[in-house]
């Protein structure tokens, strides 16, 4: 008999850990699953134990608080790290979570629970440009993850580009860690410190801190600029930086020699699991799909909750609050006495409003499409150039799905996680909710292992 | 002590070695194969199947699959997610073709 | 005003349009979505003659097989793949037991299709990675493969480029909502984008063909039969040389069961991944993924090719085969509605059967005799009352 938990939580970032702990404290039997080997998610990613970092919090605000939550959770719940979820199913009111355990062994493992909290966070949202697949070009989050998790500085001479407030901690972290940061190129307007949206979000200290650190390292921070091409034979040697008009069309360019580019245009929530369960989505202000939730972080599917970036990109503080709300709702729905906490809801509303304001302050403008040449890869995995996308459109592929069917962008290893946003823009639509029945690659042998043979061995015609 | 170590006041355990195509690469316990290689200045370890383009780390968190690598003969592991273990043999380039006739594997 | 409006830009509609344009007709293809966005975008691309028992469907398949080869050879750049990854790779049908092998070779004898019996010991010459212990098989050199989405899109484009500007046009995002009539006769369609007058209308709406027929007031019973496909990571080289599947199917007639049926069909593709099919279930238009079905497909594939166990599945998709109660497609003019031609209901073989369907429809439209007896495919062969 498999054990049936009350609540399975996927994601050990701020949302998942806060949600799991809240639910456990309310008396639920909780299991938390994360593919990473260490807790923290993206924001609270911390150096490997082998570093014995005395001050890991130097790289993020609020790590101590998170660590306390994590320690408290470990005493009250089952936690499965290095365990990736590749599918979730719902039948007869129970949720089956299919996992692969071990970062290379990938042993199949199944977790069953009455409820599910999806706290799978987000990944970087790249935009394509010539040369973006050269080694040395990283996503902004990737550079950050290398630093926070492995204490590896992404490069010696680094350019940071993209849009959004996230560029600042990335640049500041790299500079503090010893990289020469040659510039931060914000494609939108550069907000003077007095008007920076982070101030409105009540994160003045944070914003001032980044500004001071960048100033100390003499890192230029410019608005209406972007890296529109990366160059090099087998690795990055220089980039083309352009000044942009309001629509992000290049006005003038210059060349900057560098060995590393950290580039990101916001984040894409990871929705594979909730979409497998058919949870309803809504559009975030930036047009991208996010899980629709009620005031208790309940999705449209009974027993399924979502918190953190999966319900809209809003950062670690909002993620934690949402996790706590979800944990309380799950406990209440399973009959544990849980008095309402209006303060928590008000905090969520406030942080969510700030998140929307931030998204509004850093929109993506269509001029980036002018950065592409015919031979610029749009899809890295299947090496699909812009010209192939245009050819598919000319043949009647009028939406992103049919462009994918004809020209293959999004068909490869990453399943459109990297190119999906750009392809949708190129065909002029908002990105559709991604349908990925297999959220993590799974070996055929592992998939086969659980199958029972056909009941009567009968098979029928074969043609597919 | 290098920048990031100073920043967090790390007192790293002794490094161990893995081998990348026969060359030793030092790893602090807990680091990923991809981070160790990137830190050692190895920026790419695979080529794409159509254009032969070099690829290494890109997203750093397991979503782009650019960093695929073969470790101890196991192909197509994401280097950024795979924690290095002492003595790991990393081979770069295309994943090996399946060997031998059916029936075994 | 076009001579013909084709409803549906799947592979069947594309073939109808191509051959009609070639026959000198002005053709307009309309689709509510994109080109190849229906079941054509959710199939596998097998062009098989091996899997059909003697009868009208096999005759259609043989004609279609010839036409696919012609279309491929006639590609724009003269390349062998026609611009749609045509591969005349041949199909290997394998039998797990002696009993099945006997049935398989028996069928092969009746089909009258070129084939080669393959003894157990020779299977490895065809497929080095095939599991040991199989009883034997039959190799069908005519079995082939296409990339169905590209095939549909390129056929439409080729027709447009080749047969004169205006002879073949595609309009996407146009939903057919009804028919224009002159008495019984169909004179066009009403659509979400206005009325379109035409000399004839071809219903190539696949799984939704029954809905189009209903708009004309006639019953053509076409229902969805769900199928899942697994897609592996791209392989550096082809692990599997031919189209390979198990022969279990010859022991069962076309099944009418509602329940799940699976049989292993495994093939490498030019783009690298291995495709693993296929399941059949009648569950309406339900897209919810079924992990047990995926597991069963994986198991059958690994039993056939143990080396596959080490490769990863990165994707799975499902589609809805358009099936009729007697498992034959509907091809021909509807005697109840002059001017309405049906070309739908090809179930799990619409890709393979598309060119023959298009060719036959084009002959009818051009007033020529079809060169194959269409009686078994007639649109009014079903009882009129709802079942
Ligand atoms: C690479 C990257 C770096 C970032 N760095 C910062 C930063 O330095 N500062 C900052 O303010 N914001 C950063 N962010 C933004 C970040 O999204 C939020 O700050 C915050 O971490 C969101 O919290 P969360 O709980 O919603 O999700 P996350 O913190 O992202 O946690 C989600 C967790 O779910 C796990 N997961 C996802 N899918 C699966 C699955 N299928 N199976 C098992 N586990 C799964 C992940 O491993 C992850 O641990 C970063 C984002 C990214 C993508
Ligand atoms: C899993 C699976 C595997 C398969 N494998 C194979 C195989 O290997 N070999 C093979 O031969 N066959 C295979 N098939 C079957 C094959 O895919 C279908 O038979 C074939 O694609 C049907 O093509 P079609 O053009 O008739 O229909 P579709 O491709 O579905 O095209 C019909 C079009 O009509 C449009 N339409 C519908 N209603 C309207 C309207 N009111 N107005 C305007 N447009 C409308 C739709 O948008 C659609 O694009 C498989 C099917 C499945 C599900
Ligand atoms: S760097 Fe993207 S998956 Fe490893």
Band of residue A456 on the pLDDT scale cut at 50, 70, 90: very low
Mean pLDDT along residues A184-197: 78
Q: What percent of chain C has pLDDT over 90?
A: 81
The fraction of chain B above a pLDDT of 70, given in percent, is 88
Ligand 2: which residues within 6 Å by Cβ?
Answer: A 463-464; C 7-13, 30-33, 37-40, 42-46, 175-176, 204-208, 212, 227, 229, 277-278, 319-322, 344, 346-352
- C-alpha dist (Å) from residue A425 to A227, A251, A383, C32: 19, 22, 18, 21
Among B37, B69, B71, B80, residue to substitute to test ligand 3 (most atoms within 8 Å of Cβ): B80
pLDDT computed for residue B15 by the predictor: 95
Question: Could you read off the pLDDT of A210-224 as tens digits, one per residue?
Answer: 888 899 999 999 999
For position A198, what pLDDT does the model report? 64
CA of residue C202 to ligand 2 center, whole Å: 15
Confidence band for C357, pLDDT divided at 50, 70 and 90: very high
Determine the pLDDT at residue A211: 83
Interface test with A, best of B1, B8, B28 (most A CBs within 10 A): B8
Residue A437 to residue C6: CA distance in whole angstroms: 33
Q: Which residue has the higher pLDDT, A418 or A60?
A: A418
Q: Which residues pair with A124 in a beta bridge?
A: A267
Express as a percent the part of chain C with pLDDT over 70: 95
Q: What is the pLDDT of residues C35-56, one digit of tens each?
A: 999 999 998 999 999 988 899 9
Residues A413-418 have a mean pLDDT of 97
User: Which ligand 1 atom lies nearest to the CA of residue A272?
Assistant: 41
Q: Average pLDDT, stretch B29-42? A: 97
3 state DSSP class of A183: strand
Which C positions 207-266 lie with beta carbon below 8 A of chain A?
227, 229-230, 232-234, 245-249, 251-252, 254-255, 261-263, 265
- How many CB atoms sit inside 10 A of residue A397's CB? 27
pLDDT at C165 over 80: no
Radius of gyration of chain B (CA): 15
Q: How confident is the model at residue C264 (pLDDT cuts 50, 70, 90)?
A: confident
Placement of tokens 């990871």 in the chain: A270
Q: Determine the residue of A8, A9, A10, A13 to mutate for testing ligand 1's pocket, defined as the one with the most ligand atoms within 8 A of the Cβ atom.
A: A13
Which candidate, B89, B72, B91, B69, places its Cα nearest to that of B80? B69
Q: What does the pLDDT read at residue C249?
A: 57
**pLDDT the model gives residue A431:** 95
Residue A460, pLDDT > 70, answer no
CA–centroid distance, C9 to ligand 2, in Å, is 9
CA of C96 to the centre of ligand 1 (A): 48
The predicted pLDDT at position B3 comes to 84
Based on C-alpha coordinates, what's the Rg of chain C? 21
Query: How far is Cα of residue C255 from the mean position of the Cα atoms in its chain?
Result: 18
Q: What is the DSSP string of A275-321?
A: HHTT--EEE-TTS-EEE---TT-B-SSTTEEE-GGGGS--HHHHHHH
Is the per-residue pLDDT at C251 higher than 60?
Answer: no
Answer whether B73 touches C (CB < 8 Å): no
Q: How high is the pLDDT of residue C285?
A: 87
pLDDT recorded at residue C262? 74
* Mean pLDDT of the region C148-172: 92
Interface test with A, best of B64, B88, B103 (most A CBs within 10 A): B64
Residue C153 pLDDT grade (very low, low, confident, very high; cuts 50, 70, 90): very high
Task: Tell me the best of A41, A313, A324, A415 to mutate to test the pocket of ligand 1, counting ligand atoms within 8 Å of each CB and taking the most.
Answer: A41
Judge if the beta carbon of residue B64 lies within 6 A of ligand 3: yes
| Alpha carbon nearest to ligand 1 atom 40, residue | A85
Q: Cα(C240)–Cα(C272) distance, rounded to whole angstroms?
A: 11
Q: Do C129 and B76 touch (CB under 8 A)?
A: no
Regarding the beta carbon of A122 and ligand 1, being less than 6 Å apart is answered: yes
Say if residue C387's pLDDT is above 70: no
pLDDT beyond 70 at A201: no
Query: Is residue A454's pLDDT more than 80?
Result: no
Q: What is the model's pLDDT at position A455?
A: 43
Chain C CB contacts of A90 under 8 Å are none
Instruction: Report how far ligand 1's centroid is from the alpha carbon of A122 (Å).
Output: 6
For B85, name the nearest residue in chain A, comparing CA atoms only. Answer: A104
ipTM over 0.85: yes
* For residue A374, pLDDT beyond 60: yes
Mean pLDDT of A342-370: 94
A130 pLDDT exceeds 90? yes
Tell whether A235 is within 8 A of chain B (Cβ).
Answer: yes
Confidence of residue C307 (pLDDT cuts 50, 70, 90): very high
Which backbone phi and psi does C173 adopt, to 5 degrees?
Answer: 70, 25
C272 contacts B102? CB cut-off 8 A: no
pLDDT for residue B75 is more than 70? yes
Helical (H) or strand (E) element with C295: helix C291-304
Query: In terms of pLDDT, which residue wins out, B83 or A285?
Result: B83
**How much is the pLDDT for B103?**
27
Q: Measured between CB atoms, which of B95, B97, B103 is closest to C306? A: B103
Confidence of residue A197 (pLDDT cuts 50, 70, 90): low
Measured between CA atoms, the residue of chain A closest to residue C227 is A464
The minimum CA-CA distance between A51 and chain B, rounded to whole Å, is 4
Distances in Å between the Cα of A2 and the Cα atoms of A113, A302, A442, A448, C349 are 10, 22, 22, 20, 42
**Nearest residue in chain A measured CA to CA from C300:** A448
Is pLDDT above 70 for A195?
no
Question: What per-residue confidence (pLDDT) applies to C252?
Answer: 43
For the ranges B6-20, C238-252, C318-332, the lowest mean pLDDT is seen at C238-252
Read off the pLDDT of each residue in A144-157 and give the average, rounded to a whole number.
97
Locate the chain B residue with the closest alpha carbon to C128. Answer: B101
**Residue-level pLDDT at A421:** 97
Examine the pLDDT at A463 and tell me if it is beyond 70: no
Quick check: A384 contacting C, CB < 8 Å? no
| DSSP string computed for A87-138 | EEEEETTEEEEEEEESTTT-EEEEEEEEEEEE---EEE-----TTTTSTTEE
- What pLDDT, in 10s, does the model give residues A301-327? 999 999 999 999 999 999 999 999 999
Q: Is the dihedral of CA A168, A171, A172, A173 positive or negative?
A: positive
Q: What is the dihedral of CA C192, C193, C197, C198, to 10 degrees?
A: -80
| Span C3-41, pLDDT tens digits | 999 999 999 999 999 999 999 999 999 999 999 999 999
> In this predicted structure, what is the pLDDT of residue A49?
87
Could you read off the pLDDT of C174-188 as tens digits, one per residue?
Answer: 999 999 999 999 999
Does any CB of chain B come closer than 8 Å to the CB of residue A58?
yes
> Mean pLDDT lowest for which of A150-159, A190-199, C109-118, C294-303?
A190-199
Taking the centre of ligand 3 as the mean of its atom positions, its distance from the CA of residue A19, in whole angstroms, is 27
B72 touches chain C (CB under 8 A): no
User: Are the CB atoms for A415 and A435 separated by under 8 Å?
Assistant: no
Burial A219-252 (b: 16+ CB within 10 A, else e): bebebbbbbbbbebeebbebbbbbebeeebbbee
CB pairs under 8 A between A and B: 168
Question: What is the reported pTM?
Answer: 0.94
- Using the Cβ of C54 and the Cβ atoms of chain A, whether some distance falls under 8 Å is answered with no
Q: Which residues lie closer than 8 Å to C326 by C-beta, 6 or more apart?
A: C381
Q: Which residues pair with C182 in a beta bridge?
A: C185
Mean pLDDT of all residues belonging to chain A: 93
């Amino acid at each position: 008999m498999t054990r049936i938990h009350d609540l399975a939580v996927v994601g050990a970032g701020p949302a998942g850990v806060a949600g799991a702990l809240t639910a456990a404290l309310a008396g639920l039997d909780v299991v938390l699953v994360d593919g990473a080997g260490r807790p923290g998610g993206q924001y609270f990613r911390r150096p490997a134990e082998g570093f014995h970092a005395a001050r890991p919090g130097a790289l993020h605000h609020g790590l101590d608080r998170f660590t306390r939550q994590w320690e408290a959770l470990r005493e009250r719940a089952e936690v499965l790290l290095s365990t990736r979820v590749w599918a979730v199913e719902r039948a007869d009111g129970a949720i089956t979570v299919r996992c692969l355990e071990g970062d290379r062994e990938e042993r199949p493992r199944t977790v069953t629970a009455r409820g599910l909290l999806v706290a799978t966070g987000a990944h970087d949202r790249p935009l394509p440009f010539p040369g973006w697949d050269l080694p040395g070009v990283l996503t902004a989050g990737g550079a950050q993850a290398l630093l926070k998790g492995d204490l590896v500085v992404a490069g010696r001479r680094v350019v940071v580009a993209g849009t959004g407030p996230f560029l600042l901690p990335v640049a500041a972290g790299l500079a503090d860690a010893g990289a020469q940061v040659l510039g931060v190129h914000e494609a939108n307007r550069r907000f003077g410190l007095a008007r920076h949206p982070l101030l409105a979000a009540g994160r003045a200290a944070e914003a001032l801190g980044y500004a001071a650190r960048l100033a100390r390292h003499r890192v230029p921070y410019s608005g209406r600029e972007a890296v529109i091409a990366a160059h090099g034979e087998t690795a990055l040697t220089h980039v083309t930086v352009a000044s942009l008009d309001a629509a992000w069309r290049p006005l003038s360019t210059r060349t900057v020699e560098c060995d590393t580019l950290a580039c990101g245009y916001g984040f894409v929530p990871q929705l594979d699991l909730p979409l497998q369960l058919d949870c309803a989505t809504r559009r975030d202000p930036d047009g991208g799909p996010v899980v629709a939730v009620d005031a208790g972080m309940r999705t449209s599917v009974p027993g399924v909750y979502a918190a953190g970036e999966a319900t809209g990109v809003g950062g670690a503080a909002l993620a934690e609050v949402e996790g706590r709300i979800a944990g309380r709702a799950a406990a209440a729905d399973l009959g544990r006495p849980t008095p309402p906490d209006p303060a928590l809801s008000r905090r969520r509303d406030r942080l969510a409003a700030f998140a929307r304001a931030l998204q509004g302050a850093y929109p993506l403008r269509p001029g980036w499409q002018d950065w592409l040449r015919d031979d610029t890869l749009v899809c890295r995995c299947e090496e699909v150039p812009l010209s192939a996308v245009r050819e598919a459109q000319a043949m009647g592929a009028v939406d992103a799905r049919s462009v994918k069917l004809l020209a293959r962008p999004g068909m490869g290893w990453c399943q459109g996680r990297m190119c999906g946003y750009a392809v949708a823009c190129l065909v002029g639509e908002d990105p559709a909710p991604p349908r990925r029945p297999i959220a993590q690659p799974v070996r055929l042998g592992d998939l086969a292992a659980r199958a029972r043979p056909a009941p009567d061995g009968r098979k029928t015609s074969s043609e597919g | 002590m290098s920048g990031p170590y100073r920043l967090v006041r790390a007192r790293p355990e002794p490094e161990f070695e893995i081998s990348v195509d026969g060359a030793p690469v030092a790893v602090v316990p807990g680091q990923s194969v991809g981070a160790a290689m990137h830190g050692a200045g190895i920026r790419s370890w695979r080529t794409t199947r159509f254009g032969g383009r070099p690829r290494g780390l890109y997203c750093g968190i397991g979503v782009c699959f650019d960093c695929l690598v073969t470790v101890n003969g196991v192909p197509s592991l994401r280097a950024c997610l795979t924690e290095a273990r002492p003595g790991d043999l990393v081979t770069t380039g295309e994943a090996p073709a399946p060997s031998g006739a059916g029936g075994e594997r | 005003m076009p001579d013909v409006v084709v409803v549906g830009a799947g592979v069947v509609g594309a073939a109808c349009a191509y051959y009609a344009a070639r026959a000198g007709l002005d053709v307009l293809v309309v689709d509510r979505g994109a080109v190849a966005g229906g079941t054509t975008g959710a199939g596998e691309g097998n062009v098989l003659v091996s899997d059909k028992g003697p009868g009208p469907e096999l005759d259609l398949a043989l004609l279609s097989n010839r036409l696919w080869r012609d279309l491929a050879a006639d590609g724009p750049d003269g390349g062998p793949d026609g611009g749609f990854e045509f591969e005349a790779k041949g199909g290997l049908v394998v039998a797990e037991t002696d009993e099945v092998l006997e049935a398989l070779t028996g069928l092969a004898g009746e089909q009258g299709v070129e084939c080669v019996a393959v003894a157990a010991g020779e299977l490895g010459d065809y497929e080095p990675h095939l599991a040991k212990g199989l009883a034997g098989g039959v190799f069908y050199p005519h079995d082939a493969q296409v990339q169905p989405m590209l095939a549909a899109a390129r056929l439409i484009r080729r027709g447009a480029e080749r047969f004169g500007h205006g002879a073949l046009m595609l309009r996407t995002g146009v939903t057919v909502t009804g028919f224009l009539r002159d008495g019984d006769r169909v004179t066009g369609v009403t659509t979400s984008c206005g009325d379109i007058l035409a000399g004839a209308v071809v219903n190539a709406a696949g799984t939704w063909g029954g809905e189009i027929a209903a708009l004309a007031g006639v019953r053509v019973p076409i229902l969805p039969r769900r199928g899942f496909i697994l897609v592996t990571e791209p392989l550096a080289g082809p692990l599997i040389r031919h189209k390979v599947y198990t022969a279990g199917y010859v022991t069962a007639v076309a099944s009418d069961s509602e329940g799940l049926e699976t049989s292993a069909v495994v093939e490498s593709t030019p783009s690298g991944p291995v495709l693993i099919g296929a399941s059949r279930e009648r569950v309406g238009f339900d897209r919810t993924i079924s992990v047990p079905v995926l597991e069963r497909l994986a198991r059958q594939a690994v039993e056939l090719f143990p080396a596959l166990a080490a490769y990863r599945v990165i994707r799975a998709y499902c589609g809805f085969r358009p099936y009729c109660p007697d498992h034959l497609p509907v091809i021909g003019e509807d005697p109840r509605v002059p001017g309405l031609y049906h070309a739908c209901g090809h179930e799990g073989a619409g890709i393979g059967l598309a060119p023959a369907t298009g060719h036959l429809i084009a002959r009818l439209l051009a007033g020529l005799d079809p060169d194959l007896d269409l009686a078994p495919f007639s649109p009014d062969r079903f009882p009129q009352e709802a079942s």
